A and B are shown apart, each in its own frame.
Chain A
Amino acid sequence: MRITLDDVEYRYQVNTPFEHLALHDVNISMESGTYTAIIGHTGSGKSTLLQHLNALLKPTKGRVFIGDRTIEAGKKEKLLRPIRQKVGIVFQFPEHQLFDETVEKDICFGPMNFGVSEVEAKKLARKAIVQVGLSEDILVKSPFDLSGGQMRRVAIAGVLAMEPEVLVLDEPTAGLDPRGRKEIMDMFYDLHKVRGISTILVTHSMEDAAKYADDIIIMHQGTVFKKGTPQEIFSQPEQLLELGLDVPDTVRFQLKLQKELGVRFDHPCLNIGDLAIEIDKAMKRGNR
């Protein structure tokens, strides 16, 4: 399912002394079946943008196309539920939203809210719990008896059980240890590849953006600063550093080394293997 933002603006608390322009002139499109990363630092408008993707917020100017639906500034929208079912959002620290007695009831809550029968919801819960890498016997447990990492997975299963076509992930690995981080990110990538779920990742991690995304959108001061493939985005790393944004470790290292050696590699290295090969070549060319 394709999501397009056309000339979107969003102001918080319009007509009050607290009015604040959070987004302006945003024109982006996320094609069906792609993996997009949205990057920017705190206050860049990422979170506001994210809430437009399933109509939690309605633009104060412009239009948002979500599949065959149009959310337009100034127009009253009814029946937003199908949109929320098709576009699932995994918020930051989603485990804070767990509330029910058992893992199974918690996961079933979403689908049943969208009109799925209890029997069907339980089937979805079983499927979802396996997808997040947990075993079915966890379904009868209280979510509050689980470890932090397990709770995070259960919360994610709650979103997957709604069988969304688009999955929006807001910093899904914050607070996890390195292994947990990798496992969760690989899991989302598998879902994207195997089930063709369109994925939109909101992140601070340039490593993850470079590793998983087809396209990267850089937000800065409420609007799109740059968009492109990882190769395009990181081919001018100086630009990002000036904004106070990070670049992947490999790119940052490449930049330092290029400066010290007075050479220039012909492309940004986005993984460590590639970087090692390029360094080897540069060494072999030596001082000539």
Chain B
Amino acid sequence: MGKKLVSLENIIFRYEGQSRNALDDVSFDIYQGEWLAIVGHNGSGKSTLAKLLNGLQFAHSGTIMINDQIMTEETVWDVRQKIGMVFQNPDNQFVGTTVQDDVAFGLENAGVSQQVMVERVHGALNKVKMNAFLNQEPHHLSGGQKQRVAIAGVIALQPDIIILDEATSMLDPRGREEVLETVRELKQENEITVISITHDLEEAAKADRMIVMNQGQLYREGPPQDIFELEEELIALGLDIPFSVKLTKELQKNGVRVVNGHLTEEELVKDLCELHSMM
């Protein structure tokens, strides 16, 4: 595990006019270079966490440390240079009239020189494989392409951390895979830390570590392997388990002796093939 990049300590947050804390004494750490999936039912506090990490809201008590800097209203601008965020709705995060203008927007805000800006815009669009669309207008793009442009806008600022706040939930299956593949490649090449807030359990299964939120509290954290062993408990929390875990259970019920803990279909297929060859 990499070094500690973010740490949250005893975070409490409540939205105005609500009777219940949206985040209720939440503490955890995020390590450099990991892919952390945060899952939980609607209203469990996942998105509030993202807003706090990016300084869109501030905790009522507790501290957030990002790269040894405490998040306050004074430091938020520094912190935002380290954390980029991709939101759910591809149509709500376009500001430029063309793809390259859109990616340049954040850089302009950060006061980057023209020459560096051109380099970074092109570089970022290359990385998300959208360089062929430089002068396209956003509404001609598919949802997956729009999200990739949003990601380019984020990585042009060279952040340490990318937060995906349900960034694939409005996309069709093809768009979803496109976006996740892009983020996986970025993570590998640039050692970016990824925090993915998601309902997609198949995606979470591929994370390095998971956090399960429930009613504003951290319910459990650990590698996907351990988390998905909770099975029924997760379902009771309004979540689900990956297909390969469900099928494993069903097979065992039928007396097929597959072993537990296959988080991907490939592993389960392999296990079945081995069993089959021993028959």
Contact = CB atoms under 8 A, between A and B. Distances in A.
Interface of A: 41-43, 145, 147-149, 174-180, 204, 244-246, 249-250, 252-253, 256-257, 260-261, 272-273, 275-277, 279-280, 282-287
Given A175-B166, A284-B279, A286-B279, A149 B272 contact: no
**7 nearest A-B residue pairs (beta carbon):** A286-B279, A179-B238, A178-B240, A276-B250, A249-B243, A280-B254, A177-B41
Given A42-B175, A261-B273, A280-B256, A253 B238 contact: no
A279 B273 contact: no
A208 B35 CA distance: 29
Most buried by A among B143, B172, B235: B172
Interface string B260-277: 000001101110110111
Interface in B220-279: 235, 238-240, 243-244, 246-247, 250-251, 253-256, 265-266, 268-270, 272-273, 275-277, 279
A156 to B, nearest CB: 15
Given A41-B172, A42-B175, A204-B173, A178 B250 contact: no
Contacts of B269: 253, 256-257, 260
Interface of B: 17, 40-43, 88, 142-143, 166, 169-170, 172-175, 199, 201, 235, 238-240, 243-244, 246-247, 250-251, 253-256, 265-266, 268-270, 272-273, 275-277, 279
Contacts of A42: 142-143, 172, 175
A47 to B, nearest CB: 12
B172 A280 contact: no
A261 B272 contact: yes
Nearest to B201: A178
A154 to B, nearest CB: 15
A42 B266 CA distance: 28
Given A175-B166, A179-B239, A276-B256, A282 B43 contact: no
Given A42-B143, A253-B247, A177 B276 contact: no
B277 to A, nearest CB: 6
A177 B254 contact: no
A275 B269 CA distance: 13
Contact of A275 (B17, B40, B247, B253): B247
Main SS class of interface, A: helix
Nearest to A252: B265
Contacts of A250: 243, 247
Contact of A180 (B169, B235, B238): B238
Most buried by A among B142, B166, B279: B279
Contacts of A175: 88, 166, 169-170, 199
A177 B256 contact: no
Contacts, number: 106
17 contacts: A42-B143, A175-B88, A175-B170, A177-B199, A178-B239, A245-B173, A246-B173, A253-B265, A253-B269, A256-B266, A257-B273, A275-B250, A276-B247, A276-B250, A279-B272, A280-B251, A282-B276
A273 B266 CA distance: 19
A272 B246 CA distance: 8
Contacts of B279: 283-287
A63 B143 CA distance: 31
Contacts of B40: 177
Contact of B251 (A204, A276, A287): A276
A113 to B, nearest CB: 28
Contacts of A148: 42-43
Given A175-B169, A176-B42, A178-B240, A279 B251 contact: yes
A283 B253 CA distance: 14
Nearest to B170: A174
A86 to B, nearest CB: 30
B42 A180 contact: yes
Given A177-B239, A180-B238, A272 B273 contact: no
Nearest to B234: A178
B22 to A, nearest CB: 11
